């Protein structure tokens, strides 16, 4: 038909203006048909569709042919229809989302409770995640919907929404920068605060075993990348300052979330986040609350549950170290939770992981300075520590850091009479000498006094002193010559 019009030919007995009019009517009919198809898709989503049913990875569908159709700005179904039909167009997507944000501001309940709304918004975010203006519009919609407590709790506290909000918040941290990206981060932070705030003063949030919004936020963050997780330590001071929540319920929610970490990824995320929270702006006070809430026991339980995963074991040791810090309460919690036993199990299960062995050697050696009562309470056995240290040094002779840690640990152990058995001391002497010989050309580093030293050589000599070995012994150099101190 279009070819006939271009060549001024006859088609179906029509020509010129008559054929042009027929083509326009045909286009109008096609648009009406496409509109009905899209309406039926929206209706099917409304009648029981779920967020999980939306395919976030499917490519954007092509817009209907012909001129862009208008929509009714005060009609939610019309706006959603338009967003679905023109999802491939960033301009039309942004236009529809701005209208949707206005509707959500006027009635958060009406918009948020529409079953097609949240899935459609997340779908558009997935399609246009690299477009800052679309991301900002999505954050405005979600932020306005979060004004309604029921919507915030029932529609926005799931992992998909919280992950989107955390990602947007983590994308820009400089709120002073006047850009769509930083404004989206601010809106995302506001939305998260509103979702978390429905927890305060409310009861029955855990009906059916469902996580509370704050617990869900923490568990969602555990499954995100490290960059996205970094948003959590920045959000917590804002929660406290703006009276969204206090540190104690925040700590309790974080510890509770550990019980839902059912995969290696979530467990590792939780352990990494525990360490990050202790070093955050609220670190000291928050760390104390975390210990009181049982974070060290939760760490030990995750280490026990995923003992076969080296990354989880290393993260667990680091998390326990951060939680204990220099706190007596932390040390008591560590003893009560069987922290020493968990390190022992980690070293036995992951014998080939040098960084983990190094951390555990240092951690177990620290127990030699504990009071007798604390050693007994924790089941601490210095001789077992020596055995594990010697085994680690023997298995990883090329790791200078581990050999340094081993020599330092042996110095501590053999400073006490309880570890001075002939067999242990003989093995210790041999391994220290081997370490010093192997790492004789170790790169010098600056010590606390500003002197350049070779760590393994320096700590090895201290260990040999404690063992009663003559200081005249020197490790042979590569050419067979002895190396002087």
* Residues 6-26 pLDDT 10s: 888 888 888 888 888 888 888
Whether the CB-CB separation of 194 and 147 falls below 8 Å is answered with: yes
Residue 95 falls within a domain, yes or no? no
Region 150-156: mean pLDDT is 94
Using pLDDT thresholds of 50, 70 and 90, give the confidence band for residue 108: very high
Q: How many domains, the chain?
A: 1
- For 372-401, the DSSP string reads HHHHHHHT--HHHHHHHHHHHHHH-TT-HH
Written as six digits, the tokens of 222 are 């555990």
Residues 6+ apart with CB under 8 A from 191: 139, 142, 143, 146, 156, 165
What's residue 481's pLDDT? 47
Tell me which residue has tokens 């919004």. Answer: 213
Asked whether the predicted pLDDT for residue 98 surpasses 60, the reply is: yes
Q: At what angle do helices 422-438 and 400-413 cross, to 10 degrees?
A: 150
Q: Which residue has the higher pLDDT, 15 or 35?
A: 15
Region 392-418: mean pLDDT is 94
Residue 424 falls within a domain, yes or no? yes
What's residue 55's pLDDT? 65
Residue 401 falls within a domain, yes or no? yes
Residue 473 falls within a domain, yes or no? yes
What's residue 48's pLDDT? 36
DSSP 3-state of 448: coil
Residue 442 falls within a domain, yes or no? yes
What is the domain range of residue 459?
Answer: 388-485
Phi, psi angles (nearest 5°) of residue 146: -70, -10
Region 212-224: mean pLDDT is 94
Q: At what angle do helices 382-395 and 422-438 cross, to 10 degrees?
A: 30
Residue 462 falls within a domain, yes or no? yes
Mean pLDDT of the chain: 87
Pairing of strands 445-446, 452-453: antiparallel
Whether the CB-CB separation of 482 and 474 falls below 8 Å is answered with: yes
Residue 11 falls within a domain, yes or no? no
- For 19-62, the DSSP string reads HHHHHHHHHHHHHHHHHHHHHHHHHHHHTT--GGGS-TTSPPPP
Residue 278 falls within a domain, yes or no? no
Distance separating alpha carbons of residues 430 and 314, to the nearest angstrom: 28
Residue 145 CB neighbours (<10 A): 32
DSSP 8-state code for residue 485: -
Distance separating alpha carbons of residues 82 and 78, to the nearest angstrom: 6
């Amino acid at each position: 038909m279009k070819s006939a019009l271009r060549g001024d030919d006859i088609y179906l007995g029509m020509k010129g203006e008559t054929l042009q009019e027929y083509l326009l009517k045909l286009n109008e009919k096609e648009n009406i048909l496409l509109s009905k198809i899209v309406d039926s898709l929206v209706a099917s989503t409304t009648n029981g569709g779920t967020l999980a049913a939306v395919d976030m990875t499917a490519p954007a569908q092509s817009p209907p042919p012909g001129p862009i159709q208008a929509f009714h700005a005060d009609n939610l179904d019309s706006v959603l229809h338009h967003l679905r039909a023109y999802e491939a167009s960033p301009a039309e997507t942004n236009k529809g989302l701005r209208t949707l944000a206005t509707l959500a501001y006027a009635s958060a309940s009406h918009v948020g409770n529409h079953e097609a709304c949240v899935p459609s918004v997340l779908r558009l975010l997935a399609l246009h995640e690299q477009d800052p203006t679309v991301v900002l519009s999505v954050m405005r919609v979600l932020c306005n919907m979060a004004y309604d407590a029921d919507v915030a709790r029932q529609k926005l506290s799931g992992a998909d929404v919280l992950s989107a909000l955390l990602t947007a918040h983590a994308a820009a941290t400089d709120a002073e920068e006047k850009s769509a990206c930083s404004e989206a981060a601010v809106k995302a932070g506001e939305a998260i605060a509103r979702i978390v705030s429905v927890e305060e003063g409310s009861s029955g949030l855990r009906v059916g075993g469902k996580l509370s919004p704050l617990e869900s936020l923490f568990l969602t963050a555990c499954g995100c990348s490290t960059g996205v997780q970094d948003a959590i330590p920045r959000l917590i001071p804002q929660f406290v300052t703006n009276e969204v929540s206090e540190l104690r319920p925040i700590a309790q929610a974080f510890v509770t979330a550990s019980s839902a970490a059912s995969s290696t990824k979530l467990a590792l995320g939780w352990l990494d986040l525990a360490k990050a929270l202790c070093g955050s702006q609220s670190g000291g006070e928050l760390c104390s609350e975390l210990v009181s809430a049982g974070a060290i026991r939760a760490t030990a339980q995750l280490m026990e549950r995923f003992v076969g995963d080296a990354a989880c074991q290393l993260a667990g040791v680091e998390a326990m170290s951060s939680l204990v810090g220099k706190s007596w309460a932390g040390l008591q919690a560590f003893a009560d939770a069987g922290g020493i036993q968990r390190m022992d199990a980690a070293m036995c299960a992951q014998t080939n992981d040098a960084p983990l062995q190094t951390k555990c050697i240092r951690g177990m050696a620290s127990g030699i300075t504990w009071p007798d009562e604390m050693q007994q309470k924790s089941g601490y056995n210095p001789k077992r520590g020596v055995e594990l240290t010697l085994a680690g040094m023997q298995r990883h002779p090329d790791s200078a850091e581990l050999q340094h840690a081993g020599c330092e640990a042996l110095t501590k152990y053999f400073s006490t009479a309880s570890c001075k058995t002939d067999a242990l001391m003989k093995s210790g002497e041999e391994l220290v000498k081997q370490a010093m010989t192997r790492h004789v050309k170790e790169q010098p580093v600056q010590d606390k006094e500003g002197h350049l030293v070779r760590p393994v050589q320096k700590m090895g000599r201290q260990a040999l002193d404690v063992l009663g070995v003559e200081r005249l012994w020197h490790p042979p150099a590569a050419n067979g010559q002895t190396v002087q101190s």
